[in-house]
């Protein structure tokens, strides 16, 4: 199952800078003193629930939201012998206003800007991700993205969308989007499904790439550290004006 990241524009229509958002969380999320969050839906001291919610307590920082982690199957379980939390962590979302989905019977953010699904993590990785998120750390979460590749679905706004080291599939979904790639290391063989020539931009140095047809009618951008395929785009239409 592919890891999927869905971005949602805010109430003013502003898009999401995905990596910037995660960096802000990483640098500025603080649960404060004595704030341990809450497991939701638990049935026993060891079966703690199928969701975990924790909000930021530092109202003076740039990140003031919360995160919500949800299992794919079963419950989060607490191991009293080594004080770890296990279970099948599948979804992580970030937002501020917690609501309730009567259809699924689960809590959800009504204003989430970043929703991650399809993680399908086992006990050890579940514990690592949750322990790190509680301290404002997304290292293991991002390592999972890099290992598996992700599908990123942009919002209706102008997003900044970038993947990781795996083979990622990026979709802008409207707005004048910037698709960014970390050219300092291998960024895999990525695909942009809906690149809009004249509106969207590619964050790579034009002088460091070659542009050709991939043999199937798609523009293929080749860099020393990876490739980017623009689905349905004629390579002859791509020039330096399409690059940041």
Q: Is residue 197 one of the residues assigned to a domain?
A: no
Sheet order of strands, 160-162 included: 160-162, 178-180, 201-203
Please give the Cα distance from 61 to 87 (Å, whole number).
32
Would you state the structure tokens that stand for residue 73, as one six-digit string? 């199957």
CATH code of the domain in which 57 resides = 3.30.1500.10
Q: Is residue 173 one of the residues assigned to a domain?
A: no
Please give the Cα distance from 181 to 227 (Å, whole number).
10
- CB–CB of 18/161 below 8 Å? yes
Q: Which burial class, exposed, middle or buried, applies to 206 when counting CB atoms under 10 A from its CB (0-12, 13-18, 19+)? A: middle
Within a 10 A sphere around the Cβ of 33, how many other Cβ atoms? 6
- CB–CB of 140/132 below 8 Å? yes
Please give the Cα distance from 133 to 115 (Å, whole number).
14
Q: Is residue 27 one of the residues assigned to a domain?
A: yes
- For 189, the 3-state DSSP assignment is strand
Q: Is residue 54 one of the residues assigned to a domain?
A: yes
Q: Is residue 137 one of the residues assigned to a domain?
A: yes
Q: Is residue 34 one of the residues assigned to a domain?
A: yes
Radius of gyration for the alpha carbons in the chain, expressed in angstroms and rounded: 19
pLDDT tens sequence for the chain (244 residues) = 589 999 999 999 999 999 999 999 999 999 988 888 899 986 666 678 999 999 999 888 899 999 999 999 999 998 888 889 999 999 999 999 999 999 989 999 999 999 999 999 999 999 999 999 999 999 999 999 999 899 999 999 999 999 999 999 999 999 999 999 999 999 999 999 999 999 999 999 999 999 999 999 999 999 999 999 999 999 999 999 999 9
Provide the residue range defining the domain that includes 37: 18-148
| C-alpha angle 64-67-68 in degrees, rounded to nearest 5 | 150
Within a 10 A sphere around the Cβ of 219, how many other Cβ atoms? 23
- Rounded to 5 degrees, φ, ψ at 60 are -90, -5
Q: What is the pTM of this model?
A: 0.95
Would you state the structure tokens that stand for residue 84, as one six-digit string? 């770890």
Q: Is residue 36 one of the residues assigned to a domain?
A: yes
For 105-132, b/e burial (b = at least 16 CB within 10 A) is ebbbbeebbbbbbebbbebebbbbbbee
Please give the Cα distance from 197 to 75 (Å, whole number).
46
Q: Is residue 65 one of the residues assigned to a domain?
A: yes
Looking at the 3D structure of the chain, how many domains does it have?
1
């Amino acid at each position: 199952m592919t890891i999927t990241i869905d971005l949602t524009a805010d109430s003013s229509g502003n898009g999401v800078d995905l990596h910037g958002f995660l960096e802000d969380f990483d640098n500025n999320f603080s649960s404060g003193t004595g704030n341990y969050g809450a497991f939701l839906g638990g049935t026993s001291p060891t079966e703690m629930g199928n969701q975990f919610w924790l909000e930021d307590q530092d109202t003076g920082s740039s990140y003031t939201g919360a995160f919500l982690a949800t299992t794919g199957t079963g419950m989060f379980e607490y191991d009293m012998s080594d004080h770890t939390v296990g279970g099948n962590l599948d979804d992580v979302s970030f937002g501020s206003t917690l609501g309730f989905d009567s259809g699924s019977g689960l809590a959800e953010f009504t204003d989430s800007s970043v929703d991650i699904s399809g993680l399908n993590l086992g006990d050890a990785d579940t514990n690592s991700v949750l322990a790190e998120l509680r301290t404002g750390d997304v290292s293991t979460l991002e390592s999972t993205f890099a290992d598996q590749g992700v599908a990123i679905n942009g919002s209706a706004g102008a997003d900044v969308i970038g993947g990781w080291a795996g083979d990622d599939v990026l979709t802008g979904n409207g707005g004048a989007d910037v698709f960014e790639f970390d050219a300092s290391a291998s960024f895999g063989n990525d695909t942009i499904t809906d690149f809009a020539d004249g509106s969207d931009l590619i964050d790579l140095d034009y002088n460091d790439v070659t542009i050709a047809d991939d043999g199937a009618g798609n523009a293929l951008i080749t860099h020393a550290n990876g490739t980017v395929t623009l689905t349905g785009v004629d390579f002859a239409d791509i020039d330096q004006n399409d690059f940041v």
